Structures are given as C-alpha cells and as structure tokens.
Amino acid sequence: MGFFRNWKPLLETDIKQIDRNERLNLDPLLINQYPDAVYVLDSEMNLIDSNEKLSLLFQGKESRFLCPDAWMSKVETERVALFHQRALQGETVHYELKAVNTDQKHIYLSVTNTPLYTGQHITGVCGIIKDLTTQTELREQYNRMVVSRSLFERIPGLILIELDLETGEFYHSPQTGKLLGLSQRQLDKMEREHFRNLIHEDDRDTFAAAVNRLIQNPNEFEYETQLRAFNPMKKRCLNLIVKVGVSKNRKTITWAMFDITNLTNAEAKLTEERSKVKQLCEIVDSVIFERYFESKQFKFLTPGFAHVFGYTEEQFNSNPNYWQQVVVPDDIPKIHQAREVTLSGKTTTFSYRIFAKGEVKWIEENREPIFSESGQVIGLRTLVKDITQLKEQQDEIYRLALLDPITNMPNRESITETVYDLTQQREPFTLFSLSFNRISEINHTFGYELGDEWRVVTVNRLIRLLPEDAVLGHLDADNVLIVLPRLMEDTDVLALGKELDTLSTHRFRVGVYDLFARISIGVSRYPDDGSQASELIQRACVAMNRADKKVGSQLELYSSQMDIESLKRYELLRDMRSALETEQFFLMYQPKVDVWTGQIVGAEALMRWTHPTWGSISPAEFIPLAEESSLHLDLTNWLIEEVCRYVMTLPNKIPISINVSAKYLYQEQFERVLEEAMKRYEVPVNFLEVEISETSLLEDAQQITQAFERLNELGIPIAFDDFGKGYSSLAYLQAYSAQTIKIDRVFAHHVSQNRKAQGIVRSLLVIAEEFGMDVVVEGVELMEDLLCLRKFGCQIIQGFIFSRPLKGTDFEGALASGALTPMEEPIEIIQSSNHFIHAGITITRLRGQNVEVGTSPILIMRHDNQVISFYGSIRLPVDSDLGLVILLNDDKEPFPIRVNHSTELANGLYQYESTYEPTVELEKRLTASESEKPRGFTIQQAKDLVDQTD
C-alpha cells in the first residue's frame, strides 16, 4: 500500500477543494502502477478513478463495475456496501465475493478496501481486486479428486497402486498392505520387481508382457485381466480382477485391483449348496417348483415331484386344474386362501391333505410370490414337503400331552380345557374335586412306584362309581376332577357323594399291601359358584380342603347351601379384609412365666377378631382362611406393627413373640417389614421374637434356611412353636437356626399321668440344653402337671394355670403386680348323665334374613329345666341374633335355642349351655332320642361327636 503515500501531499493541498465539495483529482499513473485492479471512491461512493486492469477484469466494460446488480447478487451488493462504510470509518477490510462475468460464468474475487485520508479527514476509499477464479477452480478440482480417490480407496477389497515411471517411486492406497499381506516396511521399499513377484508364477509372465506392451505402445492406455496373487500372511492365493492404466503423459502407470476371492468361493459354495438342496429334497420327500398364473404351468426346480404327489409332472402341466382332483375337497379352501395371500405379495405357510396312490398324505407348503420387473405378482415359488409322518407324531404327542402318563386319563390342562368349553356353552354343569389323601404318605413310606400304582387302582375303582356322562381328569397327586355336564341339585350331589364316600371303606390292593383312602370331596357348580373355568376348579378344591378338615361328612359344597362351619368360613373369609380396615382385630397377650417364681419373663401376642355376627373368632379359625388368599400377609404386617407399638408403651419391657406363617417368609424382603417397624418404634431386636410352627414349615429347605439366616442377621430370636407334633421335628433342630423350642400342649396336658409324654418332654429338655436353646412348655393347666415340669427342670411355661390371654391394659397390670400365682382354673363340665343324644345344629336366620344351611353334629349331654347342655366342634356366638335350631334324628321339626354360655376345651371341643322352650311333646322327643352312655365314656376329640357308640 506504499504507493498511496505518493497521493498524500496532493490530497493535503486540496483540502479547500474538499471543503467546497469539489471532486478529487488523483494521479492515474499511481493507480496504473499496481498489478491488480484498483478503484477509488469518494466519500459518497462515486467512482473517482480506476486502472486498466479493472477494465480487463470486466472484459473491457468498466461501466459494468458501476452497476453491481449486473454482476453481483443483491445479498453480495449489500455486503460490499457495508464493507465500504467500514472503510469510511477508518478500517481496512478484506473479503471475498462471488460474481458473474459477461459470459454468465462465476468468478471469485478477493477485495481489500482501505480508507483515503486528506489531512485528518477520510475523503474516500481505495479498493484492490484480485481475481481468484482460476486458483479457486483448481483447488475445488483438487478437492474433488482427493474425495473421489479417498472414496475409491475405501471400497472393501479394492486397492490402488501407482508407479512413477521416471523416478520409480510407488504410491499405494491404505488397503494395499492388508489385502496383499505386506508390512508397511515392505511397502515403503517396494520396487516393480517386488510387485511382479507377488503374482502367481503361472500368471506372472503373461501379465508382465501385457503391462510392457501398454507402456511401449503410445496408442494403448488400458488393460484388464484376472490373475492370482500370493498373500504371504494368509499363505494363500487371492483371485484378483486387475485393471492397468497409463497416464496421458505416459509418465505414470496405475494398477486398480479388486479381490473376488470371497465371490469365487461363494459361487463354489452356491453350486455345492444347490447340490445339497437337491439331495436334501430327495431325502426328506420335498420338492421345489414354480407356477406361473398366466400360463398355469409348473416349472420343477428339483426332482421328486412324482414321489411326493404320486402323479407325474406331465399330468399336472397337461391339465392345469388337475391339482383340484388331488387335494382333499375339505382342504381346497386353504389353497384358495393361500393364493389370495400370494397375490397380495406376502409369503405364507400352510398344510393340506392330498390323495396319493390310494392313501391320504399331509403336505406342507412354504410359498412366496414371484414378481415381474414392474412389481406385479406373476406366479409363486414353493417348497412342498410330505409331513404325513410328522403329523402323525404330532397327533400322538398332542394326545400324550393331554393325558396323565400314569393313569392315562386327561391331565390338568386337558380337564381345564373341558371345563372352559362348558363355560363357553353357558349351560349349567357340576364339578366334583375328589382327593384320596394318601399319595404323599405312600410315596414317602413305600416309594414312588407304589405311589403310581396307588393312583391307578384308585382311579379305576372311582370310574366304576361314576355316571356315564362324567368326565374324569387328573389335577395333581391323587386329586381328581369329575365333570358332570349338567346341573345337579343338592339331593343329587349328596347322593353321588354318598356313593363316592364308599371309597373310604374300600380296601385297595397295592403290591402286597392293603391300603385305605381318606376321601374328601368338594363341589362347585356353574354358574352359581363362578363363571371362569379356573375359578370353578379352584372353588371346588377349596371346598374339598374344607371337607378334609371337617368332622363327619367328607363332602363340602361351595355354595350358600352349606352347613354352619362352611357358612361361617365363607362369611369370615368375605369379611376379613374389611375387618382389618375397620379395626375389628385386636391383640391379647398370654404371659410366659418362670415356673418357680411366677415372674412374667415374656408374652405371646395373640390375634383376636370380634365379628359383628359370629362374635369372638380365634386365630385357629381365621388364620387358615387368610392363608387361602394373600390376606395373611396383611394380617402379619398389622400384627408386627401393633406389637412394636405396644412394646414401646410398656414401662417394664419384656420380649413379646409373634406367630408368623412359614409362607410369610417366602416374600422376597419380608425382614424389611420387621426392621422398619422396630426402627420406627425404637424397639430393640431382643424384645421381639418370631414364632414359627414347625408343622407349617414347607419343604423348600433352602428358602427357609435363608429366611432364618436373615432373621438371625437382624438379631431377632426365632422359636419353634407347637414343637413335637411334626414328624421332622428333630431334623428341623439340626437344619434351622432357632433359639427356642415351644413344646406343644399335647405333651403338657396330663403329663404327670402319661409316662410317654414325660419321656418326650425330658428328652427335648436334654436336646435343647445340648443345642444351647431355651424351652417353653405350652398349655399347662393343672397343678400336678406344673409340679412334674418343675421336677424335670423346665424353666418357663405358658398356660392357663398362671394366666389366660389378657388384654393390653390387663397385661400391664399383671406386669406391675410383680409375679403371678399358679391357680388351677376349674373347667365347667356338663353335669354327669347316663344318657346322651346325637343331634345336629343349624342356622335358620342370619342378620334378619332366612337362610338354609346344612347341619353340624353335636352331642347333647343334659336337658332339663329349660336348659340344654351339649358339646360341639364349632365355636358359636353367645347371646347373638343368630337363629339357631337343634335337629333330632326323628325327622320332625327342629326347635330353636339361644346360647348363653360357652367354654373352650383343650381337645378342640366347645361345651355350651343354651335355653329352649320346653313342651310336653318336645320332652318326649328328647327322651326318645336318648342313648345309654357306656361306662367310662369320654369324648377324646371332635370326631367322637359323630362316631357310633355302642
């Protein structure tokens, strides 16, 4: 920019002219000396001067420069104007722009704008324009070449090698070393002779001669061939397509090579696979053919069509509709449907039957459409297989899948499907769930082979007793489901139940053993007891399980037509969830007492339920019901919460134990409920004990072991409740890490008079001492039993002799008293009589509504002065609004009673005193129903209520 300094004196002498707005006169020689196009603008952007090179840049039309819209876009024009304004502000700016010459070709310009000063004033702008068009085009062309070459070199299996014939230098693309098996060092030192030696010796001379001719003949520029080159790293030859080219100046030779080794191998494999497919089709009775819709002709791609179809190819092609005579008529719609799928452009697989040489075959087709170049479906290609044998095997497998392999009768899936089909017909039917209840014992005692034989002989005997329309299916173990496809009234159900009950007295011969069954039967009916198959089966099984626990009849109906026990269970199960929500449950605490001092050393929390209709409900009644659903989880969670809250309120804290079902331990994180409750109420872990009935432990030893370990890690003690009743009691002591044994009441009751019970208790005390475990004896009620246990060295007992279960406030009072005094509580025994009456009891009214239910057995021991005293196995509410009536065995009208008092006995019975309205006729009926009581008669257990007594 130094030449502008020559203008400076001239501009300084013309300040007055500037002030008078006269034009600047600059020396054009200064402008013409510059090698690029130059222009000068005044402050108003008027062109003052330019050199000849500007005129040449615009091809002799300098005036075109003054019309920027003619050679620049509007955007570029506005952009240039901004740069001019910046120069007038004193800034030197550089920029590039894209323009159009007179031939409408793009030109690329570089522009510099510099301010021109006169004294301290900026009086104009000088612009210098350089033409970058040729330079830019060369750069873009080079970039395109670089990109093209880069893309070319990235093609898998393609390499590029160039040789400068003058210098002997090689250029090779990045993939060369990998493809030819050469190291970078080998590539760097490569010469023409080295490259030639890579070529297979059989192809080397021919290829070298062709390349030499290409170099020497000025009229030849390209040569293409296929050859083999050795890869030293893979130690095998590659199949290459090679194209050789010479540059126009004949100074450079280029080899482009493409590896077709995999393609060659693929072609060989394809040929081999075609041969295998042909052989396979012959082996598996398959054939591949094409059929074109317009010509209706078959094109057979593999042999064997006649072998599969039993007809020749000529027969089919000579008569286009011949296939309709071959296909079984019932399956022709499948062919038509498959054609429609093919016409829609989709593949399909289907099977059908054909007549082939006097026999019926099953054929499977895998069909795909054939498209024309325009995308229209013009035919089909299909693989046809003879699947006759496979179909027969599938039918046999399906048949076996639906049958129990031992009894050869329908299995659970099959009988469930039968029940489901009946629900879809929406016609009433009846289900009997029957269990023989011996399979587990027999498997463990005699082995599984006899267990299988037991199932066979019991089912065969059962079938003889069933109606002709009955369908029998196996559910599990020796439990079967009987489906009667009709509604059976109660009388019909009871009649069939009585017939089936004879199985209980039948002697089944299994191997060399004679075994008896313990029949229990549950009944559900559609639609009264459910609408879903699984629901109906489940309810029949629930009723069967209840029948198994019931005293007397072995049949239970799952319906409103139940006996008192069933009705009560039904209502308790129905009301249990709402009872938990409305706080009908509460806790009582039975003390654990030091046998010598009477000091309370702990307690067991016992759940109780006050039902609005049935009164006080014991855990023995509602816990098994809760375990039929998931309600026992909610009840246990509530129990944990309430006990932890109660322990926190005790001034003198003692350990309190809670009963937990083994099923509760099968939850994934059950211990978190305990841990969070104790943390919430700040209860130390040693003040909460978990009692688990050893008779409820399930067979998954690993699961239970892990659950015990998780409790032990928290520091929560574990006690085995009801210990000694299960047949694996001692094994549990060894397998599981519990801290306390609670000896069941069955051993404590009258232990002073029972030498066997004494031996068991003493043995358990010794075992517990060896294991470092504590012992609690449950159910102590008599003073002589307490004295006996003291003599054995027992330290802690739990029983009525010290205290019955107490409510929370009463238990706190007992704790405050310091110690409890043993006191033998008199049990009210019904006044002795020489006669008794077998009778039944039922309900006629429930919450103001008439009901009809079955009867439960009772044993009347005394009746006089408007009072009837009797034994029963069911807990009845006292002073309730239930309409209770007693039925005598004289087929006459029942008479109503009202229960005034009840006492729970240790043998699972309840004794009741009730009032009734005596009449002369009723007294006669009662007297006539009496049986003489044998000498020494006692009721040992609930089943004695229905036993025939001589």
Q: Give the mean model confidence (pLDDT) for residues 275-293.
A: 62
% of the chain exceeding 70 in pLDDT: 83
Model confidence pLDDT, tens digit, residues 421-451 = 999 998 999 999 999 998 888 888 888 888 8
User: Given a cut of 60, is residue 45 above it in pLDDT?
Assistant: yes
pLDDT reported for residue 775: 94
The burial class, CB within 10 Å (0-12 / 13-18 / 19+), for 873 is buried
Q: Which residue has 């759940």 as its token pair?
A: 607
Which has more pLDDT, 448 or 323?
448
Q: If you write DSSP's letter for every residue of 775-813 in order, what string do you get?
A: EEEE----HHHHHHHHHHT--EEESTTT---B-HHHHHH
Residue 743 tokens read as: 């000896």
pLDDT reported for residue 22: 41
Q: Give the mean model confidence (pLDDT) for residues 620-641.
A: 85
User: Given a cut of 80, is residue 729 above it in pLDDT?
Assistant: no
**Helix axes 448-465 and 439-446, enclosed angle (nearest 10):** 150
Query: Is 118:26 a contact under the CB 8 Å cutoff?
Result: no
Q: What does DSSP assign to residue 23?
A: P
Which has more pLDDT, 54 or 918?
918
pLDDT reported for residue 5: 37
Q: In this structure, what is the dihedral angle of CA atoms 891, 896, 902, 903, given to the nearest 10 degrees? A: -10
User: Given a cut of 90, is residue 604 above it in pLDDT?
Assistant: yes
Q: Give the mean model confidence (pLDDT) for residues 35-39.
A: 84
Q: Give the mean model confidence (pLDDT) for residues 184-194.
A: 74
Which of 351-360, 515-524, 777-786 is least confident?
A: 351-360
∠ Cα 431 436 438 (to 5°) = 150
Distance CA 439, CA 671 (A): 35
Model confidence pLDDT, tens digit, residues 605-625 = 999 998 888 888 888 788 888
% of the chain exceeding 90 in pLDDT: 22
User: Given a cut of 90, is residue 194 above it in pLDDT?
Assistant: no
CB atoms within 10 A of CB 260: 16
Model confidence pLDDT, tens digit, residues 85-99 = 898 988 999 988 888
Q: Give the mean model confidence (pLDDT) for residues 692-703.
A: 67
Q: Give the mean model confidence (pLDDT) for residues 236-242.
A: 81
User: Given a cut of 90, is residue 11 above it in pLDDT?
Assistant: no
Nearest to 546 by CA among 506, 576, 585, 573: 573
- Is the pTM higher than 0.85? The answer reads no
pLDDT reported for residue 476: 87
pLDDT band (50, 70, 90) for residue 603: very high
User: Given a cut of 60, is residue 9 above it in pLDDT?
Assistant: no
pLDDT reported for residue 276: 53
pLDDT reported for residue 847: 79
Which of 589-593, 859-863, 931-935 is least confident?
A: 931-935
Phi, psi angles (nearest 5°) of residue 315 = -60, -40
**Helix axes 619-626 and 564-581, enclosed angle (nearest 10):** 80
> Which of 18-22, 138-142, 291-295 has the highest mean predicted lDDT (pLDDT)?
291-295
Distance CA 713, CA 631 (A): 27
pLDDT band (50, 70, 90) for residue 266: low
pLDDT reported for residue 155: 59
Distance CA 559, CA 571 (A): 12
Phi, psi angles (nearest 5°) of residue 566 = -65, -45
Distance CA 3, CA 217 (A): 58
Distance CA 47, CA 39 (A): 7
Distance CA 652, CA 36 (A): 109
Nearest to 888 by CA among 905, 868, 907: 868
Model confidence pLDDT, tens digit, residues 763-791 = 999 999 988 999 999 989 889 999 999 99
Distance CA 639, CA 673 (A): 11
> Which of 111-115, 527-531, 664-668 has the highest mean predicted lDDT (pLDDT)?
111-115
Which of 336-340, 693-697, 743-747 is least confident?
A: 693-697
Q: If you write DSSP's letter for every residue of 609-671 in order, what string do you get?
A: EEETTTEEE-HHHHHHHHTTTTHHHHHHHHHHHHHHHHHHH-SS---EEEE--GGGGGSTTHH
∠ Cα 922 927 930 (to 5°) = 130
pLDDT reported for residue 870: 92
**How many CA atoms are closer than 13 Å to the CA of 234, on its beta-carbon side?**
12
User: Given a cut of 70, is residue 233 above it in pLDDT?
Assistant: yes
The burial class, CB within 10 Å (0-12 / 13-18 / 19+), for 271 is exposed
Distance CA 802, CA 781 (A): 8
Q: What does DSSP assign to residue 158?
A: E
Which of 124-138, 472-486, 561-575 is least confident?
A: 561-575
User: What stretches of 251-331 show up as alpha helix (H) in DSSP?
Assistant: 261-283, 305-309, 313-318, 323-326
* Beta bridge pairs of residue 593: 600, 797
Which has more pLDDT, 814 or 161?
814
The mean of the pLDDT values for the chain is 81
User: Given a cut of 90, is residue 153 above it in pLDDT?
Assistant: no
pLDDT reported for residue 2: 36
pLDDT reported for residue 218: 82
User: Given a cut of 50, is residue 60 above it in pLDDT?
Assistant: yes
Buried b (16+ CB within 10 A) or exposed e, 157-169: bbbbbbbeeeeee
pLDDT reported for residue 557: 82
Which has more pLDDT, 189 or 708?
708
Residue 590 tokens read as: 């039975």
User: Given a cut of 60, is residue 279 above it in pLDDT?
Assistant: no
User: Given a cut of 60, is residue 102 above it in pLDDT?
Assistant: yes
